[in-house]
Structure 1
């Protein structure tokens, strides 16, 4: 009985798909032959419709899967032109993620010309009041405080030069870190910002030390 029931269901399902018709027949038909002809035509049209529908659906599925597929292309040691032509979602990791500033940045110092003049030399400072007794000089006489003033100036120049050398040496040892190769514009922008920050912070730190 169970086997007969299964066979019956399979036969019913087969007949359903064989006679499947999604198109409505016209009510103007009069003869049975016309009705049967239209019914068969509608059944064939239904089959064609579903065949085309599933073909289109299958094609769209293939297209969507193809479009969403990520294709990984690896280029070993790319040239500069290859890097510039990378797509927007391309990545170029660095073989070395860190590089000291001193390897690609050169900072030159320029001090006031008085720091390299004779006015801060020992010879000039000693000459101002050499062999003179400043006890009898007026308080407004340059020779009274001249030596101390130029000694202070010499000390300030010496300290500023020493601090500049120390700051640049420390700056050159700092590391520029990037896990991926940067475009020229981005790299230049970051370097300009780093140098500008160094130029702004150095005088402030020096003033704090000598205060």
Structure 2
């Protein structure tokens, strides 16, 4: 019985609930249709019910809007270090902003290029002492296939190519050092590495085109102008003695089969040491191809591995692999035919080159500008110092907590009640007037 009575009492309280109980004068004394007290109370109860519905809806909307709309905060961090930046970037990614105080940082401030040349360029084989030891005053007396005829000149050419490549490399290093890394924001180490590598790859690509193209131009100029080499490779001086007089001319060189001429063929032949030379007649130096050309290679005493001769010394040297310089037995052969080498104080055993570049032609080495290794070292800490970011900022999004929701609702509660009471009262008032007018109109029609 008590429960039933309690429920009935609760329902009665709901039916009679009136938040406007003390606002009987709200509608004004001149409002004829609301002067009856019972009607006033009834209207107040209607307004109260509408007010409760509006309050529940508004309360629900505010709670959902607060919960579904997380808070965003801007966080500022100072004293930026590379380690701190990496930590922030790994946690906040694209949200992180670290503006540089200096937006343009020169490469030379944080990038080091460590370049090692081909071992042959830093060996004794490009030294003046080695080149002079290979020089023979009577080198022109040897046939074009004899290494003694061109040895000194070939290594002199090697030294020149190495020197030219080295100078060109360091000119390009100066170009790299002069480049600027421009960015408003502090870059990560990976981003810096990528940009620096990309820039250096472009410059290195230009370098690897620049040097070979110059050498190729020299080849074309030499061939197209039919220059005569002083080494008797494409042609040689011919002096004939006949009828008590000398006849001097230039004779084109020919190959072993007595059929190929430098004027018409691209010739490349291996070098060695031969027991024959341009012959002497009657005590007069007489350079002629008077011996049987088919017997040239049958007179070879030793071979020089990896060295060639051709119509033009530059063509021959570019085709060479220099394999003899990697071979101890071949090296001893050079000591045998060039006596001046034995008079030097060089350590020949230590002079033999490591085999990593064996069988690689000079032309291929030149295509890589005689670079053995190119290492790029980036001092990222120095880059951060040069960029000098004073602060980093990032935004974080927090889910709205319960206490924030309650405090927000309490701050809005007073204004919300006033607004909802006004709306509910106004709606019921307007509805009541409309109903009253409708009743009058209906009565008038009935009387007619």
Report the alpha carbon displacement of residue 56 of structure 1 after superposing the two structures with TM. 3.5
Task: Within 5 Å, give how 1:142-181 maps onto structure 2.
Answer: 142-181=147-186
Report the alpha carbon displacement of residue 41 of structure 1 after superposing the two structures with TM. 6.4
Higher RCO (C-alpha under 8 Å, 6+ residues apart) = 2
Report the alpha carbon displacement of residue 201 of structure 1 after superposing the two structures with TM. 3.9
Structure 1: unaligned runs, 5 residues or longer:
1-9, 19-36
> Which residue does 2:76 correspond to in 1?
74
Query: Match of 2:181, SS?
Result: strand
Q: For structure 1, which segment, 178-187 or 77-86, has the greater mean C-alpha deviation from structure 2 after superposition?
A: 77-86
Residues 172 and 207, structure 2, Cα contact 8 Å, conserved in 1: yes
Q: For structure 1, which segment, 177-186 or 165-174, has the greater mean C-alpha deviation from structure 2 after superposition?
A: 177-186
Query: Match of 1:109, SS?
Result: strand
> Which residue does 2:88 correspond to in 1?
85
Q: Given the two structures, how large is their TM-score scaled by the length of structure 1?
A: 0.66
Within the alignment, does 1:99 sit opposite 2:82 as a pair? Answer: no
1:167-206 per-residue CA deviation (whole Å, 9 max, x = no partner) reads 1121112111221112333333434444444444432233
> Which residue does 1:51 correspond to in 2?
55
1:53-88 per-residue CA deviation (whole Å, 9 max, x = no partner) reads 233345556667x64x76444334334555323634
**Between Structure 1 and Structure 2, how many residues are aligned?**
179
Measure, in 1, the Cα distance between the counterparts of 2:168 and 2:199.
19
CA separation of 1:180/1:128 partners in 2, compared to 1, >3 Å: closer, same or farther?
A: same
Residues 141 and 149, structure 2, Cα contact 8 Å, conserved in 1: no
Measure, in 1, the Cα distance between the counterparts of 2:122 and 2:80.
49
Provide the aligned C-alpha RMSD in A.
3.6
> Which residue does 1:3 correspond to in 2?
none
Q: Given the two structures, how large is their TM-score scaled by the length of structure 2?
A: 0.34
Query: Match of 2:98, SS?
Result: coil
Higher helix share: 1
Structure 2: unaligned runs, 5 residues or longer:
1-25, 35-40, 217-448
